[in-house]
Structure 1
């Protein structure tokens, strides 16, 4: 069994987190499913991801290629079978395209202007697992597993931080993004795509690699999801394109813009300065209520018994500048609003 952080942190959608069901193991029929892409209500996904005892049922590379750094892991917790993207952190938890704090910050950012039904980043969480548990999990991928076994995130402790993301149903890589013809014909699609683009713009998403964005196959609610947000904020750019770092559309939802108008720098500092904090309890790291920011100039902070992950002061200011610039452009008439 895998044991990790206790649910303490109050996240954006009642402490949303990252997980998803996969086809690797047949999942039970949805119970009170939220929509076509989530087999359980978000609150129940959160509970499992944040505090559930977890049994690993199956492991394979996320994209089916040997030596990947992320895995599609099928988990069981109580009566629930869930699939997750399982991404062990590297040494120091702050490497290019492997910064768990960016994944969690992207997930939290959407709550600034979207409701749960509109979310475009799947539930995401960070947990601290013993190193031997992480190595045993990755080893289940067999010859397709990691070329180098996971290492301790920090040399002084035999544990690894792992980013977890819900693996959704009924989604596929979009054939065309944006689909200009559909924008003209389907205002629901246009609205949902606008939400997606606002998120990628605010976080400075800088990796348009195929597979980082997924399209819901639900014709009545065709959301576009951003499922890999590790190259965002102050990250170096990917060589696969950065177009979704910018505003790509002519119109954006008025409701989302109105909510962003009320976002202050002080609110962003309070919400993103410390995204998650772990402390040693009985020899294991568990999630606790965040305390004062240990060092606003660093994204990964630790002392003798604590680990904090958050955005740096400069990353938060850059996010605020992007929001201010967006509102200015709307007020100048450069973008229309969808009522």
Structure 2
């Protein structure tokens, strides 16, 4: 009976797409992220990270995501006249196999070997919204997190003009119904590099739901870039049984042809791996969780979220880090062959 319930729970992590409401307030320009092939008229990863962390970031509205359950919302947010959108998962929306904290963990793992202009996971950050504001805009029945006066969760930048695989095929961006387009892989260096990086990242985080429907494509400056935007089933999560019938991008599917990627993987060391234990830190100030400088990035605690007095640290468990270490070693061995 437990196995049946788990299968139903996993299968419910991916559902048919629903109609998606556009923002009622115009989004600020530029909306596209700066990348290796787009360095002007764009928003840098670091600037988006600062916005997502900012305690003065306010919710304008919330709508359901186009697909998926798990309590995910798309929030329209404002800070100092800048309006943007982000996917939101509250801390308490997780379950046995699907945990919002892992979105932040996956975002940190890609940083082991990628520079911001090559990220395949959009900017992601923890945030705690004031309870009154959250109840007014998102969920009238919400309860505060950790006995504070705010609701804690994780924000991921909502990519503008992004296409899922089916839509990309309809728009002529892809030549078929697979994320892997052989001709595009041969001719578009940006697509080739980003697909390799996506494959490596999904492998390193042991993504348990890494099928084509989880990924988005953005065509910009004449090239195609791929992103993984749902990473809450990772780090020793039980694999979604539906992946058995689809392409699993958590297995290495494309050759590591990019010299830059190969060199950076080879340079990953134990210090970088242990730093994954604390990705972000927050301090309880009068009942509000606000960002705080990391005081000990390598604290040895087998918990992904842990309190030290009034400070909350968020990162990977030692078991999760061990899994990443093992997969890094496997990658290095492959590169040495």
Query: Superposition RMSD on alpha carbons, in Å?
Result: 2.8
Partner of 1:252: 257
1:81 aligns with 2:83: yes
Task: Report if the CA contact (8 A) 1:214-1:225 is conserved.
Answer: yes
Within 5 Å, give how 1:161-310 maps onto structure 2: 161-175=152-166, 176-208=178-210, 211-218=213-220, 220-241=222-243, 243-269=248-274, 271-292=275-296, 295-310=300-315
Partner of 1:145: none
Partner of 1:335: none
Task: Report if the CA contact (8 A) 1:52-1:77 is conserved.
Answer: no
- TM-score, length-normalised on structure 1? 0.78
Q: What is the number of equivalent residue pairs in this alignment?
A: 298
Q: Secondary structure at the match of 1:49?
A: helix
1:214 to partner: Cα distance: 0.4
Task: Report if the CA contact (8 A) 2:130-2:150 is conserved.
Answer: yes
The counterpart of 2:325, out of the listed 320, 326, 331, is 320
1:263 to partner: Cα distance: 0.9
Aligned equivalents of 1:127, 1:211: Cα separation in 2:
27
Aligned equivalents of 1:251, 1:234: Cα separation in 2:
24
Partner of 2:62: 59
Q: Secondary structure at the match of 2:30?
A: coil
1:210 to partner: Cα distance: 5.4
1:158 to partner: Cα distance: 4.4
After superposition, the C-alpha distances for 1:32-74 in whole angstroms (9 at most, x for unaligned) are: 9736799523332222222252332221101168x75011111
Q: Which ranges of structure 2 fall in alignment gaps of 5 or more residues?
A: 1-21, 167-177
Q: 1:304 to 1:68 in 2, by over 3 A?
A: same
Partner of 2:9: none
1:124 to partner: Cα distance: 0.4
Aligned equivalents of 1:32, 1:330: Cα separation in 2:
33
1:150 aligns with 2:151: no
Q: Identify the structure with bigger relative contact order (alpha carbons < 8 Å, sequence gap 6+).
A: 1
Q: Which runs of 4+ in 1 moved over 6 A?
A: none
